Amino acid sequence: MARTAVVLVLALAVLVATASEASALSCPNVPVTERLDEVDGAFIGVLVSERKVDDGYLYRFDVKTALKGADGIGSAIDLRAPSRLVSRSDELLAGFDDVEVGVMFTTDRAMPETESCLLSPPLDLISAFDEPRGNAIKVVIGVIILIGVLLFATVRLKRKQRQQELQAPEA
């Protein structure tokens, strides 16, 4: 009985260890904005095909929105990856039809290249790419409000001084 329990525990430990190694995606904890600065291109797209090649995998994406490096991105793009692409939840990317994904890539070699750590949710990639707008307008409106408050305070102060001069007895 004890021998069976030991064998079961060891088998379970081996199973857990091999399963976690096979699907573990360990990416550095770098914000999307910093990753976007380091890559040559980025887009929002849908995976169309996956093909095994000699030195990795070849992926074809339909590009929905080109964000960075838009000159070199058409309506479709082929990207090479050294290993199979998986999402952050460790699911294989292939087979998820019509699911948009944010893809960043480099062009160090002849063919653009990506990896699982350069994938992100589309909204994260778009928000990192878009600059905050309206800051200049907010500053101008703030200055106008400040000037209005100062003018109002100055007018009230002068009225109060005039009233005090009129009410004060002359000696």
For residue 62, pLDDT over 60 is answered with yes
Kindly indicate the confidence band of residue 145, based on its pLDDT and cuts at 50, 70 and 90.
Answer: very high
Kindly indicate the confidence band of residue 152, based on its pLDDT and cuts at 50, 70 and 90.
Answer: very high
CA angle 86, 90, 93 (to 5 degrees): 30
pLDDT for the residue 154: 95
Kindly indicate the confidence band of residue 54, based on its pLDDT and cuts at 50, 70 and 90.
Answer: confident
Round to whole Å and give the CA distance between 59 and 57.
Answer: 6
For residue 118, pLDDT over 50 is answered with yes
In this structure, what are the phi and psi dihedrals at residue 96, rounded to the nearest 5 degrees? -100, 80
Contact 121/102 with Cβ under 8 angstroms?
yes
Contact 122/87 with Cβ under 8 angstroms?
no
pLDDT for the residue 19: 46
Decide which of 9 and 165 is more confident: 165
Q: Minimum mean pLDDT among 13-22, 34-43, 81-90: which range?
A: 13-22
Q: For the sheet containing 76-81, what is the strand order?
A: 76-81, 56-68, 41-53, 100-105, 119-120
For residue 171, pLDDT over 80 is answered with no
pLDDT digit string, tens, across residues 153-170: 999 999 999 988 888 776
Q: Specify the pairing of strand 41-53 against strand 119-120.
A: unpaired
Rounded mean pLDDT of 110-115?
84
pLDDT for the residue 121: 85
pLDDT digit string, tens, across residues 66-87: 888 767 788 888 888 888 887 6
Q: Hey, how many other C-beta atoms are within 10 angstroms of the C-beta on 113?
A: 18
pLDDT for the residue 20: 41
Mapping DSSP onto H, E and C, the string for the chain reads: CHHHHHHHHHHHHHHHHHHHHHHCCCCCCCCHHHHHHHCCEEEEEEEEEEEEECCEEEEEEEEEEEEECHHHCCCEEEEEECCCCECCCCCECCCCCCCEEEEEEECCCCCCECCHHHEECHHHHHHHHCCCCCHHHHHHHHHHHHHHHHHHHHHHHHHHHHHHHHHCCCC
